[in-house]
Amino acid sequence: MKNFLKTAFILFAFFALLFSCADGTEEKGNNGNGQGSDYNMAGSYGFKVNGQDCVWVFKADGTYEISGYGITGTKTGGWSSKGNDLTLNYATNGGWATSGSEVFTVQASGNQVTLAVKDSQAQVSSMLVSLSITAKSVTLTKTSGGTDNGGTGFPAAKGKLTVTGLDNFNGKYVFANGLAGGNVLQGITDITGYPSDITYKLASVSNGKAEIPLYTPNNQATSYSNSYTAYSGNDAVTSLSVIILNENVLKASNAGSAINSNLGLKQFSTGTFSNGNMELAWAWEPPNGVIADQVVSGQWFEYSLTSTPVKKWFTFTATSSKMFVYAKFISNYNVGFATDPIYDVYDEKSVKQSLTQLKGPRISPFNQPNFFPDNKVEYSRPINTEVGKKYYVTFESTGAFTDNPAKYYVTVGTADLSPND
């Protein structure tokens, strides 16, 4: 099935995918199941027996070992494959209660490999019963080796893109797509529907982080198992899109619509992979629909406060390892909050520093114009910052103020200009 995918780009203007799929005909020499080689089971796999962790190692020389809690001793035997059929031999001198052989059908999806007894009349697998598994099948999780070459499973990942700062997207899913060193990269965990109805399986966000396996589409693909090649390069990023989605799968035929409905999307054009690995920080931003005013050091930004509650956002780029937030009031009449404003600052990884100590005086009405005619800075407090990074600050008050409208000014700087408290 040649030319499975000629291109796997996002059209960055529309964030849609272009695909060119194979014609779906079977090549000569294939066994009719979508692949043309015997299943390569070699590798280490984890599974459970009575809730206890066990390990099944299939060696390249055609032997295997099974060990772990819940299994008496180490059981050994031999294995061989033909297409998707896996024959397992076992004998009493290998630690088994009886001797014999059994044929299993291999069903692989990503790192999950299920061995199911091929005999449709069998109620259980005699071999699995000897492992205290009273069933016809067992599912193994590949931990190393396995189906990278010649098997029917999806290739094991070699590199991954780690995206941090995703605290607002825990429980959601991430799709990555882009270019690096001339390689088309896609961040997925598996695919289904090969060759003509592709659906991508996506990595999840947990604890504010996503670890996304990276692959390159194989233009010469002949099967599901070699439709993608695990990426392990050392290339500089040309352009890389990271897209947050609500679903754990992305159907290629509906990718444009799904991506347009994203929960968050960022495009990166810097960074270099190391053996296929790279870490990026998802720069945190205010909630959707909120506009943060850009504040430049030493230049006052004016807010006109006409109602409560009050919550305003502004942003700045740090020019020092310690920045100060400055604030002042100017009013033609009376000014003052019934409650002290509360301040919080967020860095690009959404880590919050509380600035509740940045408080102005509760000013009683003085009924005199230009209450601060000298533009005096009423207060300033420090923020720990990193030069060149972007920060967001909110100020909020739920209490009423005594003037309508009041003028409130904010800016940032590198010196503490606070009056004596």
**What per-residue confidence (pLDDT) applies to 362?**
36
**What per-residue confidence (pLDDT) applies to 380?**
65
**Domain assignments of the chain as residue spans, ordered by start:** 10-27+156-281, 43-145, 293-413
Topology annotation, domain 293-413: Jelly Rolls (2.60.120)
What global pTM score does this model have?
0.48
pLDDT along the chain (421 residues), means of 10: 40 34 32 50 86 85 82 86 90 89 88 88 88 91 57 75 87 94 92 84 89 91 82 94 93 88 88 94 73 83 68 85 75 47 65 52 35 48 81 69 61 71 39
**What per-residue confidence (pLDDT) applies to 22?**
32
pLDDT digits (tens, 9 = 90+) for 183-207: 999 999 888 888 878 899 999 998 8
Q: What is the 3-state secondary structure (H, E, C) of the chain?
A: CCCCCCCCCEECCCCEECCCCCCCCCCCCCCCCCCCCCCCCCEEEEEEECCEEEEEEECCCCEEEEEECCCCCCEEEEEEEECCEEEEEECHHHCCCCCEEEEEEEEEECCEEEEEECCCCCCCCHHHHCCCCCCCEEEEEEEEECCCCCCCCCCCCCCEEEEECCHHHCCCEEEEEEEECCEEEEECCEEECCCCCCEEECEECECCEEEEEEEEECCCCCCHHHCEEECCCCCEEEEEEEEEECCCEEEHHHHHHHHHCCCEEEEECCCECECCEEEEECCCCCCCCCCCEECCCCCCEEEEECCCCEEEEEEEECCCCEEEEEEEEECCCCCCECCCCEEEEECCCCCEEECCCCCCCCCCCCCCCCCCCCCCCCEEEEEECCCCCEEEEEEEECCCECCCCEEEEEEEECCCCCCCC
**What per-residue confidence (pLDDT) applies to 340?**
54
CATH number of the 43-145 domain: 2.40.128.50
pLDDT digits (tens, 9 = 90+) for 76-118: 999 998 888 999 999 988 889 889 999 999 988 777 889 999 9
